[in-house]
Amino acid sequence: MSQNKNYDAEFCGNLAIHQTNSIQDFGFLIVLEIASLDIIQVSENVEAIIAKSAKESIGTNFRDYVSAEDLSRFKLEINKGIRTRLPFQFPLVSATATVPVNILAHVKKDLVILEIEKIDEEPERSFTEVFQGVRSFISTLESTDNLQEVCEASIKEIRKIAGFDGIRMYQFDKNWNGTVIAEEITGELESYLGQTFPASDVPKQARALYLKNPFRLIPNRNYKTIKLFPVINPITNGFLDLSDCNLRSVASVHLEYMANMNVTASMSIRVVIDGILWGLISCHHITSKYLSIESRSIFDWLSLEISYRISSIIKHEELVGSARLLQQRTVVTDLIYAEDDIMKGIFSDENQNLLSLFNATGAALSLNGKIKTTGMVPEMDQLENLTLWLEGKGINKIFTSQNLGETYEEAKAYPNVASGLLAIPIDAGKGDFLLCFRPEVIQNIKWGGDPNQAITFEKDGVNYHPRNSFKLWMQTIYGQSDDWKKTEIEMAESLRNFLFEFKAKQIYN
């Protein structure tokens, strides 16, 4: 029996990818001591913008490279406290050259990290032009309440703006596997629409960084790694935390992963719902591709708008679902009141709402030593054993499982009836439970490559590589039901409170 394995590799999740101590070569890094603005750490390519070598620049002051007016504006913003991604645009002046640059400043407690890029030669678009384009896109999003259509419209717009060979929308499941739910590709890129990629492809520390950064750009996987000097930051006495930095260099295993996908440039844009990473928009290009800071700022904006629209649709669906469940719950409780009896009310001939309330195919009520059922349920002796097991586990709050056989061995004998269980304890100490069942739903997962080969170690047990094939790999999952939704669990808790109080009142009376 194939099980849905957790592919969120632990060792990948422990890699310190935020402390690479190096950057990609499309920019420069300067670190300032916050009080004095003395330069305390730089990227080794810094000479190209301030005409001093990395070693020579340490100990000089930022005021030596900017005009008095620009310095005043810079200090005014820096002094507002800890913040990230503060944009500036002004020239850096040295004895030999004046270099116009874009700067993103990240203000920390004791230092300021400056990400610096030379200003692009391409002409900048006016704010009005940019706003009109984004506003048009927002109008498109607002015109549909269909989640799939929003995802498809989003990737089409991003591809139109950025011109990538391929754009894909990935949605994460509860185990952080990502499924491609929308796709726009051209050229030599393979289609992955409908395929699922294991959680180890975007390990937990990478997911955490997407909560700090709206996008991640790699213009060229063959870039020259630029190290920081000195190696140890003198304020933190360790490697510099580059979590907020777009320039942060890339783990070699990810660059190899890109090569295996026949991709040279990539950009990933986050979709965040209620502070949780819901999905990623992944942009791929066969050749190298640099995007201007202006373009990236647009994607920052689009990330917010896409996340907001998807969140609105999901919350609307939840509200509609909750209203429906509340209506059905009211019918159940009204019949219990009418019968003045839990057992009679739940199994009244008029009561067809219990199964639909929890989208269940069967239910059993164990109350005062008696068991009554409706729909498809396990045999009576199996129900008695299940109730004893729940009682023995001290289940005193809502218990759910979509793979009951995994936690309760005996349930492996009846997956077609009760792979899924929702147990509502009325009085767990006396074995009083309302049980709702769901049958097995056989799943066929289309993996993008064998997830069991997502990472392979060399013989030394230290070096490792990503899988080199993304060829469709099918897996069939047995013994699992549909998930119990959050709204269903909340409604179960509400019904539990009612049943507990109703029984207690009857005993008291």
Question: What number of other Cβ atoms are within 10 A of residue 221's Cβ?
Answer: 18
CA angle 182, 186, 192 (to 5 degrees): 40
H helices within 280-396, ranges in order?
Answer: 293-339, 342-346, 353-357, 380-392
Residue 47 is predicted with a pLDDT of 95
Residue 124 pLDDT: 64
Whether the domain at 26-118 and the domain at 340-442+478-508 fall into the same CATH topology: yes
**pLDDT digits over 28-51, tens only?**
999 999 999 999 999 999 999 999
DSSP structure class, residue 439: -
Confidence of residue 350 (pLDDT cuts 50, 70, 90): low
CA distance 5 to 89: 49
Q: Report the percent of the chain where pLDDT is more than 70.
A: 92
pLDDT on residue 13: 45
Place of tokens 């009080």: 35
DSSP string, 253-271: HHHHHHHHTT-SEEEEEEE
Name the residue with higher pLDDT: 403 or 161.
403
> What is the percentage of the chain residues whose pLDDT exceeds 90?
65
Q: ∠ CA(154), CA(158), CA(161), 5° rounding?
A: 145
User: Quick one: pLDDT at residue 292?
Assistant: 85
* Domains in the chain: boundaries: 10-17+126-315, 26-118, 340-442+478-508
Q: pLDDT category, 3, cuts 50, 70, 90?
A: low
pLDDT at 58: 97
pLDDT for 465 equals 73
pLDDT digit string, tens, across residues 188-235: 899 999 999 999 899 888 899 999 889 899 999 999 999 999 999 999
- Using one digit for the tens of pLDDT, what is the confidence trace for 468-501? 788 888 989 999 999 999 999 999 999 999 998 9
Q: Crossing angle of helices 293-339/486-508, nearest 10°?
A: 30
Tokens of 180: 């491609």
Tokens for 197, please give them: 């990629």
pLDDT tens-digit series, residues 308-345: 999 999 999 999 989 999 998 998 899 899 889 899 88
Helix axes of 293-339 and 127-142: crossing angle, nearest 10 degrees: 20
- The residue among 155 and 124 whose pLDDT is bigger is 155
pLDDT tens for residues 426-459? 998 889 999 999 999 998 999 998 888 777 766 6
Q: Answer yes or no: are the C-beta atoms of 102 and 88 closer than 8 Å.
A: yes
Cα–Cα distance measured from residue 182 to residue 469, given in angstroms and rounded to the nearest whole number: 21
Which DSSP category does 192 fall into? -
Per-residue model confidence (pLDDT) at position 459? 65
Query: Which of the four pLDDT bands, split at 50, 70 and 90, describes residue 119?
Result: confident
Mean pLDDT lowest for which of 37-41, 128-132, 175-179, 366-370? Answer: 128-132
C-alpha distances out from residue 442 to 172, 177, 376, 438, 480, Å: 20, 18, 18, 12, 7
pLDDT confidence bin for 505, thresholds 50/70/90: confident
Q: Among 480, 476, 471, which Cα is nearest to 195's?
A: 471
| Helix/strand/coil for 89 | strand
Phi-psi bin for 406: left (phi > 0), alpha (psi -120 to 50), beta? Answer: alpha
**Kind and range of the H or E element at 199?**
none
Cα 299 to Cα 161, 206, 214, 241, 294: the distances in Å are 9, 19, 8, 24, 9
What is the amino acid identity at position 378? P
**26-118 placed in CATH 3.40.50.11890:** no
Residues 361-388 as b or e (16 or more Cβ within 10 Å = b): bbbbbbbeeebebbebbbeeebbeebbe
Check residue 143 and give its pLDDT: 86
Distance CA 501, CA 384 (A): 24
Architecture field, domain 340-442+478-508: 2-Layer Sandwich (3.30)
How many other CB atoms sit within 10 Å of the CB of residue 212?
14
Helix (H, G, I), strand (E, B) or coil at 125: coil
CATH superfamily of 10-17+126-315: GAF domain (3.30.450.40)
Q: Is the pLDDT of residue 117 over 80?
A: yes
State the Cα–Cα distance between residues 135 and 142, nearest whole angstrom.
10
Rounded Cα distance between 284 and 272, Å, is: 21
Mean of pLDDT values over 112-136: 78
> Among all chains, which residue has been given the structure tokens 């011109």?
163
Contacts of 171 (CB under 8 A, 6+ apart): 178, 179, 181, 278, 279
From 282, 280, 221, 172, select the one nearest 26 (Cα to Cα). 221
Predicted pLDDT at 1: 40
490, 329 contact by CB (below 8 A): no
Q: What is the mean pLDDT of residues 146-160?
A: 91
What CA–CA distances, in Å, run from 238 to 21, 46, 108? Answer: 10, 21, 15
* Segment 291-315, tens digit of pLDDT: 888 888 888 888 999 999 999 999 9
Please report which helix (H) or strand (E) contains residue 286, including its range: none
Mean pLDDT of the chain: 89
